Structure 1
Amino acid sequence: MDPSLGGHDGPTTQLELAVLGTLFTESPIGLHVLDPDLCLVRFNRAARHIRAFPLDDAVGRHPREWAGDFYSGAFETMLRDVLSDGVAVLDVEARGHLTPGSPETVLSISTFRLEDPAGAVLGVMAAIVDVTDQHRATARLELLERANGRIGTTLDIFRTAQEFADALVPALADVVAVEVLDSVLRGEVSAPGAVFEHGALRCAGVSASVPEPADRLPTIGEAIGLLFGTPFSQSLSDLQPRLVAELTSGNGWPNHEAVRGRRMLEAGAHSLLVLPLAARGAVLGVAHCYRDRTPGAFDDDDLALASELADRVALCLDNARLYTRERSAARILQLSLRPPQVVGHAAVETASSYFPLGAGGDWFDVIPLSGARVALVTGDTAGQGLQAAATMGEVRAAIGALAVLDLPPDEVLQRLHALVTRLRGERPDHTDPTEHDPSDGHTTCLYLVYSPVTRRCAVASAGHPPPVVALPDGRVEYATVPVGPSLGRGMPKYATAEFELAEGSVLLLSNTAMLRSVSDDAQEQLASVADVLLPTDRPLQEMCDEVLYSLTPHKAESDDAVLLLARTRVLGPDQVRSWTLANRPESAGEARDAVEEALAAWGLEQHAFTASLVVSELVTNAIRYADGDIGLRLILDGPVLVCEVTDDSSTAPHLRYAEEADEGGRGLYLTWQVSRRWGTRPEPRGKTIWAELALSEAD
């Protein structure tokens, strides 16, 4: 009897015979019938097609003799357990290789005990299904799911490339290398076309299942040329993946490819996938995967899976490229808007550190004001990228324009608040939920004005931390400043705090993130900088650098670093003269005499005529339009003489161009003609008109 069609001894019904015949002739599931000694006695037709078990000479023999790589002690133990207890075992996986070096085959085996009607044990039957294809499909889906979760976690090109390489090794390949075009690293884009116009390829990620000799793998950042007539150049040309199932020196091109081909041949690679990386019409680079240890060549299913993952990483790389381009442009814009170094200002000595690490919108400014005063400004604009940098530029330009008006700090912030509110309203609707709009965040600002004549400091804050003050007596504290709402948010209620500073005091202004990165507690923040701010007479840039060094370990890498230190100066009697004049016509002559006397004492007699003319005209205007006493002050500010006249009238003067027949109206016109610049500033009671006279022709 043919063993593949074997029957069953004993009485049976026609139905049982039909079922038995169908199982052994038509069933797609392979059946093995083993006797109590586990020798094969029967098998069905489907079992002949299971390549894992060659059955031509297997009848009467134990599985260890014909099951090959799939037999193990555990397999025999399972069969004997079923024989002894009769409990069926379902869907047990058996893995092995048909031949040495061949791909792994996976079988699903279920075993059942066979008994006669009286319950006597006749043997065991094994139902066998080759599930290799299903297992590979499941493994591919699992790899795809894992890779999708691991690739593109950041907007860094090198890290994204490395995540892709790590995801494919060892699940799909033994070695994976990712190469991107140099232009991609600069944020630029290359269109499909002649591959040699794209420039050099640079290794951005590499992974190997086992450590390889250094000369067999590319190093991160290594530039690798591109040779015509290779799978790499062809893939970049037509953006189609390439499968080289059998890679040998007989392929031709590996012998001529001095870098990639040589390395793969030396590693013993036998199968290769080449994957172009392109997204949104941009060519980004190429990835290649090869097997040198895993038996079995890549197939079409492997190529389809790798291509899908390559499309995924290409999109992530393009996102990183776009981010790199915008971040670089934003940093260039920020650095171009960086305020110039203020040298030799009479009011303060300054030092600064400005590092737009996160390409955000943090900034500082040092703005000279009238009367030898100076404005120190710092602020934050929420968000990162070009929009944040552009918003910062708009706010800085507005502050510069408002500072010229010599307004009190609280009024500057009120006008700035109105401007920011209007700018936010003019922006188009932001419909992309994945893109950050800095106008949705907060813009903060701290505006501080210091006068070296009075040693008075006036400051107001719009949602920004107050300045840190280090005093010569060793105290380090936060200035008490009322903090109003961020610009463009809420009601613009701002207040100006005023306090007096000793000569040599150091003011520390920073962006919001710097000190808050240490702690939310104000005392801990002060403690982190107190040691480096004292004593206050050390070189200021050295102190600024030490503050930066002490705060940097606490700061997030994505935050900008903005620090401004200012050491206060005081103008003494040898640089400032002040008088109070009665409001009467004779005061104009008295003012001229006082100016001539002061300039003679300063050795500036050659400028006495011009200064006396300006002061005379300004005092005359004050006598005409004001009621109370008149203040006169001269400030020697380096190469500039500042003349100030203060009265109790809040009416601002206007420059007129008098006609030849007019008897008056030429006072301010004369002042404008002989002074470097002039203007007015409001006072708590009245106003001050000031004019600056250059003491040298260079100014």
Structure 2
Amino acid sequence: MPEASGGDTRRCPFDVIDAAVAVVDPQGLIEGWSRGAEALLGYRAQDVIGQPATDLLATQGDDTASAMTQRHRVGGGWHASLAVHHRDGRRLELSAQACPLGADRRGASWLVVACDLATVQGWDREQAVLRGLFTQSPFGMAVVDPQLRFLMINPALERMDGVPARLRLGRRLRDTVPGAAGPMAEARAREVLETGEPLVTIEHVDSAVDPHRQHVRSSSSFRLQDSAGRTVGVGHAVLDVTSHHRARQRLALVNEASVLIGSTLDLDRTVEELAEVMVPPVADFVAVDLLAAVVGEQDPEPVLVEDPAELRRSAHRSIQPNLPEALAALGETVAYPEVSPQARCMATGRPVLDAVLDLSTPWLRKDPLRAAKMRELGIHSHLVVPLRARGITVGVATLMRWKNSESFDADDLLLVEELAARAAVCIDNARRFTREHRAALTLQRSLLPQDLPAHTAVEAAYRYLPADTQAGVGGDWFDVLSLSGSRVGLVVGDVVGHGMHAAATMGRLRTAVHTLADLELPPDELLSHLDDLVVRLAVEDEAADRPSTGVVGATCLYCVYDPISRSATFARAGHPPPAIAHLHKAVEFPEIPAGPPLGLGGLPFESAEVQIPDGCVLAFYTDGLITASADRDVETGLERLCFALAHPDRPLEEICDGMVRTLLPDRPHDDVAFLVARTHALHSDNFATWDLSCEPAAVGHARMITGQQLADWDLDDLAFTTELIVSELVTNAIRYASEPIRLRLIRDVHLICEVSDGSNTSPHLRRARSNDEGGRGLFLVAQFAQRWGTRYTTDGKTIWAEQLLPQSAPNPDIAESRLDVCG
């Protein structure tokens, strides 16, 4: 016996071909018995013909009626559930139908058709499902014959398309589906007919029921076959998935916005990204207005703002060109009436939705120009949402629709609020970062030299470009230092790390370099002392529990150029080597011992002396200049640097501009500082050197030759003070030092007196008591000289003193090469 869930129910269970059929005469005796009855009950025809039909029932007598449960009349017959005995004694539950046959003088005979009750119940359920699916389900359903003519259309499809079934039945698909969709639908149906494979498609259609809104439908096509396996047509099931499709679109837009909005920490760019995400997927126009305090990178008030005049247009975007400028220009203060949605939104912190915009509302009557423009465009829907971050309203976003015929609804409001919330946090982050970045940059710029001092030995130019990165400014610095003997110190350094702490550390190192340079230390010794300082700063950071500052070291290149010897002494600590641009040969990178970066501690530094021909350009730079290319390849960066330094006879500012264009992108990934200096040797007419004996008589000789040299230089006004200074310095050298003793006078911006000896001991300035016979020499030198000091050399020391030249004194001549270079 077939089970209800697994039997073949394609035909009706009461089909006489398969069911049990019996004929009962008017006396209730069986006079006909089919093979189906024999198969169902097990009795052969000869066993039951002529026997009472009630003998087959599971109950007899008065219980016969109860055995025919659920009996009811159907037309002139009846339909009942019966309990009968199988031949082997089993009890069977049957469903039976009976109808009267032609009557004679004895009465009417009955035709009884019976089948298994479970099979009938399964058939009834399947028929109920099919009827409900076709008549009551939300699926639109249709059946076409093999010639692709409509045979059946359910009410759901009628409502979905807005076309009555009577206008389609009997007509072909191509004749009832508008446009190019008709032939495509026929092609899909024919493919299903030929292959028998179901086909699922997604379609975007315009429904007659809702002509202003495009609908998305999922359509399934499948082949229909009868019980014999013959193809009778194609069935179509259609489901409107517009809401699901839009939900997926909104989810995809939110996901996209999480990537696009806040891609940088630039405030203006973040606001523009919000506008780009919303137009055109959400609105035809969007305007983002921020509080003036936010635009100015200040902290907005924690309370809600009721004055809409504080709003400034920060971004806008439209599907129609030139529309934003017609409403408000970027950067302008946007004046909204007090009753406007924007004012209400700022005052309450809640969105304002005008799904159907009324252009006669009070707030538009107070703004006739805006109302006229909105009326001209045909704006029909309006939405304003607040931009709130960390409990503070930072601005509002205004959205409008005119080309999109759908009005803003609750789902749109939820989407826009989600986008606005994400954007508001990014805007606040960008505001905070910009404020801190600007503060760090201000600190760093204040610590860098504002103007390079003028020197006859070098003319210099520089560029400093802070990095536009989330890490903040770096610790790059440079300097030009005036040293004794007309020498010049040139320095470039880079503190490891970024941010305020790196900028502060840079300032401390720059100050230390100034101090150490004033002590006249050689470049290698200066770097050793600077290394000790960086180690001490790192220890202080660790003791103060500041491991996250990121400043663990620095690099530095220090050079001392002597215009008299025309040589430069270099020392570097983990820094890129300098470049020397020659007038008549290729750019040179001299071999300078690298040395370890500052902060490692205990490792030695070495210096190297290089002869510098007149008119050459020295280039000092940080590593950000040569690693700014896309691949950050150092060799490529050095090649580009050589190209930028070609033709060093150009003005230095032009060389700097060329280095920026050639080597740097629009947004460098690291701070960049570079310094270029053109060297100028001091002409031999501007200095004189004499060797002196270690005898008291040498003092008078020194005073004499000094007076003669000053007369040659037309500096007679300085003769008395200069001879006094020379007398005291030479006397100290003869009395306290050792040979060789040398006197040198240098005429530069200052008149410089230098006395060198072979001793490493340094004199000290002290105040002599009233009864002391000596001890006043250096005191007098300090009184007459603008400044004085001691410089140690490899074979002794040099004591020097500088005096200002009289204003009437002629300017010293420089080397002829400088005149040639400058033209």
Q: Compute the TM-score of the two structures, normalised by the length of structure 1.
A: 0.86
Q: Given the alignment of the two structures, is residue 439 of structure 1 paired with residue 439 of structure 2, yes or no?
A: no
Q: Given the alignment of the two structures, is residue 375 of structure 1 paired with residue 375 of structure 2, yes or no?
A: no
Count of residue correspondences: 678
Equivalence map 1:171-570=2 (5 Å): 171-191=281-301, 192-196=303-307, 199-208=310-319, 220-221=330-331, 223-258=333-368, 261-342=371-452, 344-356=454-466, 358=468, 359-427=473-541, 439=551, 443-473=554-584, 476-489=587-600, 492-515=603-626, 517=628, 520-521=635-636, 524-525=639-640, 527-533=642-648, 536=649, 542-549=651-658, 551-559=660-668, 562-570=673-681
Q: Specify the alignment match of 1:626 in structure 2.
A: 737
CA contact (8 A) 1:53 1:68 kept: no
- Cα distance in 2 between the residues matched to 1:666 and 1:232: 81
Q: Specify the alignment match of 2:781 in structure 1.
A: 671
Amino acid at match of 2:519: L
Deviation at 1:646, TM superposition (A): 1.6
- Cα distance in 1 between the residues matched to 2:523 and 2:578: 14
Q: Specify the alignment match of 1:689 in structure 2.
A: 799
* Deviations, residues 553-606 of structure 1 (Å, cap 9, x unaligned): 431223455443333333344432222223333333333333333333333344
CA contact (8 A) 1:255 1:262 kept: no
- Cα distance in 1 between the residues matched to 2:297 and 2:785: 50
Deviation at 1:215, TM superposition (A): 6.1
* Deviations, residues 46-93 of structure 1 (Å, cap 9, x unaligned): x48965556686795659799889974433444454455543334654
- Cα distance in 2 between the residues matched to 1:262 and 1:550: 53
Q: Specify the alignment match of 1:3 in structure 2.
A: none
Amino acid at match of 2:495: T
* Deviations, residues 520-541 of structure 1 (Å, cap 9, x unaligned): 25873464135331xx4x6xxx
CA contact (8 A) 2:198 2:223 kept: yes
Change (3 A) 1:675 1:697: farther
CA contact (8 A) 1:254 1:265 kept: no
Q: Specify the alignment match of 2:58 in structure 1.
A: none
Deviation at 1:545, TM superposition (A): 1.6
User: Of 113, 138, 150, which aligns to 2:248?
Assistant: 138
* Deviations, residues 103-159 of structure 1 (Å, cap 9, x unaligned): 333333334444332234455444443323222221211111122222222223333
Amino acid at match of 2:551: S
Q: Specify the alignment match of 2:261 in structure 1.
A: 151
1:446 match: secondary structure: strand
CA contact (8 A) 2:644 2:659 kept: yes
- Cα distance in 2 between the residues matched to 1:388 and 1:147: 34
CA contact (8 A) 1:180 1:204 kept: no
Amino acid at match of 1:251: T
Deviates more, 1:466-475 or 1:128-137: 466-475
- Cα distance in 2 between the residues matched to 1:509 and 1:315: 42
Equivalence map 1:603-622=2 (5 Å): 603-622=714-733
Amino acid at match of 1:303: L
CA contact (8 A) 2:308 2:335 kept: no
- Cα distance in 2 between the residues matched to 1:580 and 1:86: 115
- Cα distance in 1 between the residues matched to 2:735 and 2:613: 39
- Cα distance in 1 between the residues matched to 2:640 and 2:240: 68
CA contact (8 A) 2:13 2:123 kept: no
- Cα distance in 2 between the residues matched to 1:87 and 1:508: 76
Q: Specify the alignment match of 1:4 in structure 2.
A: none
Q: Specify the alignment match of 1:21 in structure 2.
A: 128
Deviation at 1:406, TM superposition (A): 0.6
1:580 match: secondary structure: strand
- Cα distance in 2 between the residues matched to 1:318 and 1:309: 14
Amino acid at match of 2:594: V
Amino acid at match of 1:468: A
CA contact (8 A) 1:576 1:635 kept: yes
User: Of 8, 11, 14, which aligns to 2:13?
Assistant: 11
Change (3 A) 1:264 1:504: same
Q: Compute the TM-score of the two structures, normalised by the length of structure 2.
A: 0.74
Deviation at 1:309, TM superposition (A): 0.9
2:475 match: secondary structure: coil
Change (3 A) 1:248 1:490: farther
- Cα distance in 1 between the residues matched to 2:454 and 2:663: 33
CA contact (8 A) 1:361 1:380 kept: yes
- How large is the RMSD of aligned CA atoms in angstroms? 3.6
Segments of 5+ residues of structure 1 without an aligned counterpart are: 1-6
CA contact (8 A) 1:203 1:223 kept: no
Change (3 A) 1:263 1:152: farther
CA contact (8 A) 2:285 2:316 kept: no
Change (3 A) 1:31 1:224: closer
1:19 match: secondary structure: helix
Q: Specify the alignment match of 2:97 in structure 1.
A: none
Which structure has the bigger radius of gyration? 2
User: Of 676, 692, 697, which aligns to 1:581?
Assistant: 692
Deviation at 1:307, TM superposition (A): 0.9
CA contact (8 A) 2:317 2:324 kept: no
CA contact (8 A) 1:177 1:289 kept: yes
- Cα distance in 2 between the residues matched to 1:511 and 1:373: 23
* Deviations, residues 168-216 of structure 1 (Å, cap 9, x unaligned): 23322222233334443432232243343773412424142x6576765
- Cα distance in 1 between the residues matched to 2:299 and 2:437: 15
* Deviations, residues 619-643 of structure 1 (Å, cap 9, x unaligned): 33323332332222222233x3222
Amino acid at match of 1:448: C
Deviation at 1:404, TM superposition (A): 0.7
Segments of 5+ residues of structure 2 without an aligned counterpart are: 1-8, 15-119, 810-823
Deviation at 1:310, TM superposition (A): 1.0
1:439 match: secondary structure: coil
Change (3 A) 1:56 1:530: closer
* Deviations, residues 255-290 of structure 1 (Å, cap 9, x unaligned): 433565444332212112212223234543322222
Deviation at 1:246, TM superposition (A): 0.6
Change (3 A) 1:443 1:262: farther
Deviation at 1:304, TM superposition (A): 0.8
Amino acid at match of 2:639: E
CA contact (8 A) 1:515 1:551 kept: no
- Cα distance in 2 between the residues matched to 1:305 and 1:134: 14
